[in-house]
Amino acid sequence: MKKVLVLFFDSMNNYGVGMMGINSMFHLRRIMKHDVNFYADLSEKFEIGAFLDEVFESNFPLERCPRLIPTSFSNKIKRLLLSSHNILDYDGIIFLGGDNLSEYYSCRLMWRSLMRYASWSFFRPMFLLGQSIGPFNYWKNRLIFRYLMRRCHIFARDAWTVNYLAAEFKLRKNVHPSADLAFLDLPRQHEMPLWIELSERYGLQKDKYITIVVSALHDQYVQDRQIYLLRWKDIITSLAKHPPLADKKICLLAHTFGRSQGDEGSLIREVSGALDDALKAKLICITDKIFPTRARLVLGNGLLTVTGRMHAAISTFQMGKPAIALAYSKKYEGVIGQNLKRSDLVIDARRPQAWMDGAICRQVMERVDYVLARHCDLTREIEQIIPEQKRLATAALERIARTMQGH
């Protein structure tokens, strides 16, 4: 039985992280014919019951990984090299993507993590799975990636990352083109009773609403939080009053929860509370935690999505519907623009002036009109390109399985 350590899957408070964690383990286990056990850095508050409901398996082999306690000089040396995890106990280590290996969220401390992963690769196969990596400006990050990451198996989820690592650091042999793991089917997303449950609970009718995801990462767009919320209020108001959407509801969906991820349920309550009573009648607010599969069903059964969270866009595309993504990093152009060939649905929203002067509202409404005018063509084109993303994500997991089975 192979033992796999999965890192960066410590909670279900971020549906994007949840999708990647669920899909990586569920599909890898199927590929390895159940000959694998998983261990993860689960937080004390990890919702194991919700996870088991998502995979629909009460005995799924996921456990909290034990920590190495240095009780001797040799163990202290191990801890220095291997961090607090006893890496030698595992047959492989998966560091789960997204974009946590970029400088959008952190910079000067990242080199420590990079050093750790590089050292692990000398002892056990190290997989950086579903990653958007870079760009790097801090010299320590650049130095480590250039000289120490060649033993790591890097599965880039977008062409931009592949090209960047090749051009900047001459990394080619160990970098494999892949796709975001969320493009794979979630284990239960085709169960009709789940959609019926959601539609009855929230009053959702297929294609009779549009979904809005207000990201909690306001500082990635504009520093002034009140301006940020005001512009979302303007966007929602414009959509609610837009004649082509007169018979459509506006569904506000929270996609992350908790202090570390950003409590989008609170944001929804704050934004919706500032709207006129007449507009509130058109709103459906989903502020409770419904977890990744049900969130995907909400997103995929709407007419379209407007989102500041990329995985909300991915879920919408995965179910064959168009999403307008408000981008704040290179990952949007890589995953949506290049992989899906849908640059027409990406708005460069990391421009504070556009939020200050209201231009972001006009841009969103222009893209909404564009989507409404071409909705049938867009859905057909999206449905044609998603299978390739599924194939790339599956190929990455198959390569990992072969590497570990040969270890």
| Domain residue spans of the chain | 2-184+389-405, 192-385
Instruction: Please give the Cα distance from 110 to 397 (Å, whole number).
Output: 26
Instruction: Please give the Cα distance from 258 to 262 (Å, whole number).
Output: 6
Angle (nearest 5°) at CA 102 between 359 and 401: 125
pLDDT of residue 69: 47
Give the count of alpha carbons within 13 A of 351, CB side only.
12
Check whether 81 has a pLDDT greater than 70: no
Kind and range of the H or E run holding 380:
helix 375-405
Reduced to 3 states, what is the DSSP secondary structure of residue 37? strand
Query: Residues 134-143: what's their mean pLDDT?
Result: 92
The CATH number given to 192-385 is 3.40.50.2000
pLDDT of residue 43: 87
pLDDT of residue 98: 86
pLDDT of residue 67: 66
**Across all residues in the chain, what is the average pLDDT?**
93
Residues 6+ apart with CB under 8 A from 182: 16, 19, 20, 23, 311, 314, 315, 318
Confidence tier at 83 by pLDDT (50, 70, 90): low
pLDDT in tens, 220-256: 999 999 999 999 999 999 999 999 999 999 999 999 9
Q: Specify the DSSP class assigned to residue 208.
A: S
Domains 2-184+389-405 and 192-385 share a fold: yes
pLDDT in tens, 31-61: 999 999 999 988 888 999 999 999 999 999 9
Fold of 2-184+389-405: Rossmann fold (3.40.50)
Q: How far apart are the first and last CA of the chain?
A: 12
Report residue 11 as tokens: 């909670």
CB 239 within 8 A of CB 245: yes
Higher pLDDT, 98 or 299: 299
pTM for this prediction: 0.94
